Amino acid sequence: MISDDTIVSTEVPAYKMILAETQGRVAVVTLNRPKALNALCSELFHEINDALARFDNDDSIGAVVLTGSERAFAAGADIKEMKDTQFVSNYKTNFLGHWVEQIGRMRKPIIAAVNGYALGGGCELAMMCDIIYAGEKAVFGQPEINLGTIPGAGGTQRLTRAVGKSKAMEMILTGTINLNADEAKTYGLVSAVFPPEKLVEEAIKTAGKIASKGAVSVQMAKEAVNQAYELNLSSGLHFERRLFQATFSTKDQKEGMSAFAEKRKPSFVHE
């Protein structure tokens, strides 16, 4: 884990349910409801959204790591908060809509560092991120069917795209078949698996590598990859080519290619 003396607090409010810190150009957001295994509730998501919005608009930050505790990334939604809600009010207020709004708008990459349980909304939250790293004891699942409902924050959509229809159906329809860390990596849900005590450190290391690149190109690359899920191949190739061509208007493209030709390390200015 990252020691206290290597993390410097950023200028964000004192939150009740999360910790928000920075290390160089990397922001670290930690879910902090240990007694509830980081169960997701509206107040928690408002705090996540506020912190992410601040970091997304902070030029000194290039990437974000989102994590929980070693026992649980997030063990699901706070059932006590939602169990008595009704359809009409849920529909009129777009219940759960704010869970995905800010992460969906994020221009900067987010790495989910998942230790322990990532169930229900916790699994959905991890899948909202751009990269998922898992600790060796991580568990991913969508058990909502056991509560008489279904995933409501992307589980049926993102999980299917990540692991395929058959496995997603099996997990979602039974509510009891989960993926451990190695299985999640085999299916492509996560990128890498690490010892629990090394997970956040490794996530910050990768986020630091990303943050060291030109910020404009990083954001364009993220946008292009995400469009691969939305566009057909022809439209996606056209979109990618236009962004590629647009990079030639940036200072970082000129610096990057000049540095390569001159056999030196580039010094990006994020413009």
Q: What is the 3-state secondary structure (H, E, C) of 127-196?
A: HHCCEEEEECCCEEECCHHHHCCCCCCCHHHHHHHHHCHHHHHHHHHHCCCCEEHHHHHHHCCCCEEECH
CA distance 75 to 139: 10
Residues annotated as catalytic are 77, 121, 124, 144
First-to-last alpha carbon distance for the chain, in angstroms, is: 33
Q: Helix, strand, coil % (nearest 5) of the chain?
A: 50, 15, 35
Rounded-to-integer distance, Cα 152 and Cα 166, Å: 19
Residue 122 · residue 38 · CB < 8 Å: yes
Calculate ∠ Cα 149-17-37, nearest 5°. 50
Report the DSSP beta bridge partners of residue 192: 133
Helices 155-163 & 165-174 angle (0-180, nearest 10): 140
